[in-house]
Chain A
């Protein structure tokens, strides 16, 4: 059995989650501390959109944005010789865009559930905003952030629609597990499909078990 889809999937998901994790936290923090309610709503809509749109639509939009003939794709290709579409980078791009809303929303939720008075208290005690972020906000948001990260990882691992649109289905290059399953079924190879299904189910199950373990471990702090 060809394990390259598993390796491509894991590689994609790992690189994607590193990007998603930090970007999601950063975006969430920016939105939470934002004063203008209007701006908040607009940005929140934009960052959440990939979660509610059909992945094929996201893939299509990415294709339009990064295609060799589109403005961004053209610049990347002509100036740097980088061609994103139908490359490994495209699988990562698709996974990042699709999983970012999960990370963003989890982090935002985690930041917002912190009792405002804790932040006020920290300020009156003389702590700087930076110290407050690292000593109060981050530790208290950790359960939400970590579980958001794991969800985003699992989502990136299972990404299909957007990946198919922008990265294609090139064996050994952009064929991730979900695409491999699709290919196997299309070819009538149900046994092969089962193998990949079991592999991805196992990885996803481990992710969920991890979330539960972590939230249980942290729950005792909250009361």
Chain B
């Protein structure tokens, strides 16, 4: 089981250039909207045609510009779950699922997929009568019924209500375990993709900027662009001051840096909002302390987001602290605050 993709496609001034290779792994593709992640899936499915390159699925060549091969979508065995599920509105769930199944196998396939997705009771309903989560299950059952070799999920949870998302996400992940083949999921949500699979691909402006194990990518996103996409809100340019000390130009502070810092490679430094800690004791030996003002407080249900400025630069630091702990009590806007940026939590970055 493998999928090899190496394609280029130009649309206006936008240029997509993707290259990856999966082997029985679930691959998550992270990118902002308009980055070309859906386009990549559409090229694999045969909905869009790349300008050049190769797509090979389990030794079947789906597309090869040099050999002049471009298999039509219907022969590719590439299941595609659309963002809006694309159920046929004039058919019942049953008719949707069986739309491409030959007559003799309909009963068997229907029973199998209805049980897999637990939609036995929904079969006589039309898509408009189903909830978002139910529509998604019917759409997946329809794809499974067509017996694809690769399954592609295009922002599968963006059309769902926030409070339903997590439950449906878990259920879907469980059900998909029974799928024998490659699974790709495209999303702009790092949370979904982090749970989705081990392998992650980060796309920006049509280019694959990073590929690898998700854990490593989130810990060390390597590039500034990748750091932003993985949710790092605080990024600053740096200048070396002395061994193990750099100046974060945009934040207007100097920082102790850890052993990962390499002077001739790294041009930026970053820290995730939740890695910034508030300091309330007068302890001397806390490294990378910074005092500043709380400029703005955004209260979330379970945590507090703060914007902190230190007066030395216009740049502000995003800081996220859990709600309810004593340490984070009495936070108020326009009041002074001391925080620290633990050296072990700093991320060292460079630009592409």
Could you tell me which A residues sit within 8 Å of B by CB distance?
115, 117-118, 120-128, 135-136, 139-140, 220-223
Contact = CB atoms under 8 A, between A and B. Distances in A.
B322 interface: no
A117 B78 CA distance: 15
What secondary structure prevails in chain B residues at the interface with A?
Answer: loop
A140 B143 CA distance: 21
Interface stretch (B68-76, B155-163, B202-210, B344-352): B68-76
B164 interface: no
A140 B126 CA distance: 14
B76 A140 contact: no
Given A121-B80, A126-B75, A221 B86 contact: no
A220 B129 CA distance: 10
Contacts of A136: 88
Contacts of A117: 82, 84, 86
A127 B79 CA distance: 12
Given A125-B143, A135-B99, A120 B73 contact: yes
A48 to B, nearest CB: 28
A217 B210 CA distance: 52
14 contacts: A115-B84, A117-B86, A120-B45, A121-B80, A123-B73, A124-B47, A124-B74, A124-B148, A125-B99, A125-B143, A139-B90, A140-B90, A221-B90, A221-B128
A117 B82 CA distance: 7
Nearest to B148: A124
Contact of B126 (A120, A123, A126, A221): A221
A123 B99 contact: no
Nearest to A121: B86
B166 to A, nearest CB: 25
A127 B100 contact: yes
A146 to B, nearest CB: 14
Nearest to A220: B128
Contacts of B76: 124
Contacts of B84: 115, 117
B90 A123 contact: no
Nearest to B74: A126
A123 B74 contact: yes
**What class of interface size applies to chain B in its complex with A?**
20 to 34
Nearest to B44: A124
Contacts of B78: 124
Q: Which 7 A/B pairs are nearest by Cβ-Cβ distance?
A: A123-B73, A223-B128, A121-B86, A117-B86, A125-B100, A124-B80, A126-B100
What secondary structure prevails in chain A residues at the interface with B?
Answer: helix
Nearest to B80: A124
Nearest to B127: A223
Given A118-B88, A221-B89, A127 B82 contact: no
Interface in B157-213: none
Contacts of B42: 120
B46 interface: yes
Contacts of B82: 117, 120-121
A123 B46 contact: yes
A120 B142 CA distance: 14
Contacts of A118: 86, 88
B338 to A, nearest CB: 53
Q: Which of A121, A124, A136 has the most CB of B within 10 A?
A: A124
Contacts of A121: 80, 82, 86
Contacts of B148: 124
A136 B126 CA distance: 14
B146 interface: yes
B79 A124 contact: yes
A128 B100 CA distance: 9
Contact of A123 (B72, B88, B142, B143): B72
Nearest to A223: B128
Interface in B38-90: 42, 45-47, 72-80, 82, 84, 86, 88-90
B137 to A, nearest CB: 15
A126 B46 contact: no
Interface string B2-43: 000000000000000000000000000000000000000010
Given A121-B82, A223-B128, A127 B47 contact: no
B90 A115 contact: no
